[in-house]
Chain A
Amino acid sequence: TQLLEQSPQFLSIQEGENLTVYCNSSSVFSSLQWYRQEPGEGPVLLVTVVTGGEVKKLKRLTFQFGDARKDSSLHITAAQPGDTGLYLCAGGPVNTDKLIFGTGTRLQVFP
C-alpha cells in the first residue's frame, strides 16, 4: 500500500512567519500534486510537479519534488491569514491516473 505521510499534522503560526510542510513516501510517484481545502469545500489544486528535483513557485508558495520522486515540500513565505486551510499532497502512482492523498496538514495563520 502506497502511503503519503505529511508533517506536521497541525501548524499554528503568526502572520508573517515562514513555514514548510513535508510530504514523504517510500514509493515512487509519477507526479505529485498539492491541494488546499477550506472548511465545507472540496480540495482545490495548487500545483503539479512531475520531474524529480523540480521546483515551482506560486507567489509566496514554493513547491519542490524530491530527486527520487518519493517526497515533496511546500514552503510558504510570510504567511497570511488567507493561507489558513488544510493542505494535502497527492501522489500519482506509476501507470495509473488515480491519486493517493497524504494525511494532510492543517494550517492556521493568526493575524
Chain B
Amino acid sequence: DSGVTQTPKHLITATGQRVTLRCSPRSGDLSVYWYQQSLDQGLQFLIQYYNGEERAKGNILERFSAQQFPDLHSELNLSSLELGDSALYFCASSPYSSRGAPGTQYFGPGTRLLVL
C-alpha cells in the first residue's frame, strides 16, 4: 500500500459525458502528479501540482483539467469524453518538488475509465 488513494476504482460512462477522478496523496506529500496509461501509449504524464499550484504540464488535452485543493487532495476532470479516453488514470504523490531532482513518486492504485 503506497498510501495514495484514488476513487473511484472503476468508472463506466458514455461518450460526451464528464467525470471527476479523485486522489488523496500520502500524508505530508505536497506534490501530486496525474498520468494516463493506455495499452498503446504507455504511461503519459498529464499534469503536476505542488502545494496547490500547477507546476508542470504534459500531454493533457484541453478537455481535461485538474486542481489541487488546500487539503492537498487533487481532482482530475475529464469532459466531452471520447472512446479514446478509456484508460487507466494514475495519481502519484511525492514529498517535495525540487527542480532537477525528481524524487520518489508513490502511485495510487488507479482509476479504470471505460467510455462506451
Contact = CB atoms under 8 A, between A and B. Distances in A.
Interface string A30-44: 110100000011111
Nearest to A31: B102
B92 A42 contact: yes
A101 B38 CA distance: 13
Contacts of A101: 35, 42-45
Size bin of chain A's contact surface: 20 to 34
A72 to B, nearest CB: 14
* Majority secondary structure, A binding face: loop
A97 B100 contact: yes
Contacts of B101: 30-31, 50, 92, 97
B105 interface: yes
A31 B110 CA distance: 25
Contacts, number: 75
B107 A40 contact: no
B99 interface: yes
Nearest to A41: B109
Interface in B15-33: 31, 33
Given A40-B109, A42-B2, A42-B110, A97 B103 contact: yes
A50 to B, nearest CB: 8
A25 interface: no
Contacts of A50: 101
Contact of B108 (A31, A42, A103): A42
Nearest 10 A-B pairs (CB), nearest first?
A42-B107, A92-B102, A101-B43, A97-B102, A98-B56, A95-B100, A97-B97, A45-B104, A103-B42, A43-B107
Interface of B: 2, 4, 31, 33, 35, 42-45, 48, 55-56, 58, 90, 92, 94, 97-110
